[in-house]
Structure 1
Amino acid sequence: PSLYGLSQEDIADAATYLGLTILSGYHNYQPRSIVLAYAGHGLGLCDNDRNLESCRLEGLQLPVCEVLLVEHTEFALLLHVKVMREAYELANRDIAIFTDFTIGHSDVPRLAARVAHAVQQLLQEKYNNVVLPDKFTTIMTGSKIGQEITDAIEKAAKNLGCGVEILNEEPGYIVARGAAELAWRSLGRAVPAGEL
């Protein structure tokens, strides 16, 4: 997940220390959960991943999406907003995230309103000085996500005047699916961790 204080350099240093090979793909940064979940749904991926130039050109033709990652587990809620086209990580430190370790889903009906409020607050902060997009693609990750939470997210988007498309397929595994897809596409382009 996206956490303040954990830098790309920290990950590369740990990999170097352990002697691990890092699969770099088309970039030198390890992707955050939002990028992996995006790829896990088959979004932001080129068809011809063996030809770097062809893949880059194809990626430039993909639609731009406003993406909201909602990771909701038994213990916490993590929100991350990012404008995406390709399943690509830039390792930008200026990220729009929200975390709350008191909004786990042990009491979902009571907490749905708090989830909606958190979503609305993060989106208002992210788009404070710009026009809100017409639609968000919301990717659900974490434990099983119930109807109460998806309804709360739809309500929050509606209150802001935005449409929302919620992707809630296999939320517990979608990040792993995206990680596997990007790792598969990176085979043959591995670089030693010390070269990052």
Structure 2
Amino acid sequence: MSRLLSASLVILVFAPGCKPGSGGGASGGQPPPEVVLHGARLESFEGDRLIRSGTARQVSYQRTTGEVWATDATIRIPPGSSSQKAPPGTEGGVEVSAPNMEGSLASKQVVASGGVIIRTGKGMEARTPRLTYDATTERAHGNEGVTVKGPDYRLRADRFELFFPDETFNFAGSVESVLGAPE
């Protein structure tokens, strides 16, 4: 499980401090990263089952602190990949893309920023400036607003939560929705 979590977080923890050629976490008095990968691809397995995959243009890792930064990152979570097994109605899984992701292997949390796009196999696309993902609870949330487009609806909300095992979204704050809306 530790290998799975570490591998999952490496892909989930791609970061804003990482700029091409800058050495990633070298800003703000931090030491330069110990490892920098260019054109990174990752697949994370639980036994024989693929539970996460992804790509990033660049990933920087600081071994002493467990901090990871990535740029132009995409994470794919297949349907039913959770150990909780998603319900039969879950289709296609979830894909999260962001210009910047950063996180910590110790905290098992990732912050994606710079214009995050979430797509589900159900045909929904959500956009938010920033989201925080907790690998322990398999939950993401954002407090900076979200816009959502679906096959026959549109929605805007102040806050959201996404539960990855069953692709369930909860919206809070001021929520506006339009049903039957063309894309």
TM range (shorter): under 0.3
Higher relative contact order (CA 8 A, sep 6+): 1
Q: Which has the higher helix share?
A: 1
Larger Rg: 1
TM-score by length of structure 2 reads: 0.26
Q: Which has the higher strand share?
A: 2
